[in-house]
Amino acid sequence: MALDFTGRRVIVCGGSRGIGRSTALGFAAAGAAVSICARGADTLETTRREIAGFGHQAHAGVCDLASADAIRAYIADAASALGGVDILVNNASGFGMTDDAAGWSAGFNVDVMAVVHASHAALPHLEKASNGCIVSVSSISAYRPSMRSAPYAAVKAAVVQYTTSQAMALAPKGIRVNAVAPGSIEFPGGSWEKRREEGSPVYQAVLNAIKFGRLGTPEEVADVILFLASPMARWVTGQTITVDGGQLLYS
């Protein structure tokens, strides 16, 4: 069944590439007006033009998602450009991998606090919307210990937990809150493509753990995000949906 987001206004934080880009394009293809933000102006503008190609309002703003002030300014600009906000997607990651101050800071400031700041900034607009919702992007790393990327796993677990707390707090306002937990997703310019090209044993180990014989695509995650944001999921809140092709079953 095709999803129809005609008249809906969507913000995708971290929307210029990978899962964020595919999510933004998916909403635009389904009729939504879409705003995206990221740090890289060139990639951001390229994606904005792709969104505009569907014939709907397309807005983009350069934003450092580690900065609360920058997030608040961006959300205000996006809401003004779109005429409001119905759906917020929190997709950005600082990819804090190293178990040191830099790794923890990168992960906490973006993966956790950007979700908090963007949600707070968008809330007045979501309260005015009909059936407003928030969807955040976690990871299957949230569900298991990690020696290779302890900060990343921990902050993604925090996103899962915060999703449940947000869902409880915002249900009386008619706002649903859910998350997705992607497995290993490969796309041009992404970290898994780089690992494959380098012949990384980590890539091969992950590939061996996915019995479908491939890594996931951004579109496969975006489809679940769109479902969670749609009326078809109108009685779903406080949930995190794993999108990993069964990777967790074997790894």
**pLDDT tens string for the chain (251 positions)?**
689 999 999 999 999 999 999 999 999 999 999 999 999 999 999 999 999 999 999 999 999 999 999 999 999 999 999 999 999 999 999 999 999 999 999 999 999 999 999 999 999 999 999 899 999 999 999 999 998 899 999 999 999 999 999 999 999 999 999 999 999 999 988 888 989 989 889 999 999 999 999 999 999 999 999 999 999 999 999 999 999 999 999 87
74, 152, 162, 203: which is the annotated catalytic residue? 152
Q: How many domains does the chain have?
A: 1
Q: How many beta carbons lie within 10 A of that of residue 135, not counting itself?
A: 26
Asked whether residue 27 is assigned to any structural domain, the reply reads yes
Asked whether residue 109 is assigned to any structural domain, the reply reads yes
Told to judge if 162 belongs to the known catalytic residues of this protein, a careful annotator would answer no
Asked whether residue 199 is assigned to any structural domain, the reply reads no
What's the whole-model pTM score?
A: 0.96
Looking at residue 61, which CATH number applies to its domain? 3.40.50.720
What range does the domain containing 132 cover?
Answer: 9-185+217-244
Asked whether residue 123 is assigned to any structural domain, the reply reads yes
Asked whether residue 231 is assigned to any structural domain, the reply reads yes
Asked whether residue 153 is assigned to any structural domain, the reply reads yes
Asked whether residue 3 is assigned to any structural domain, the reply reads no
Which residues lie below 8 Å from residue 172, measured CB to CB, with a gap of 6+? none
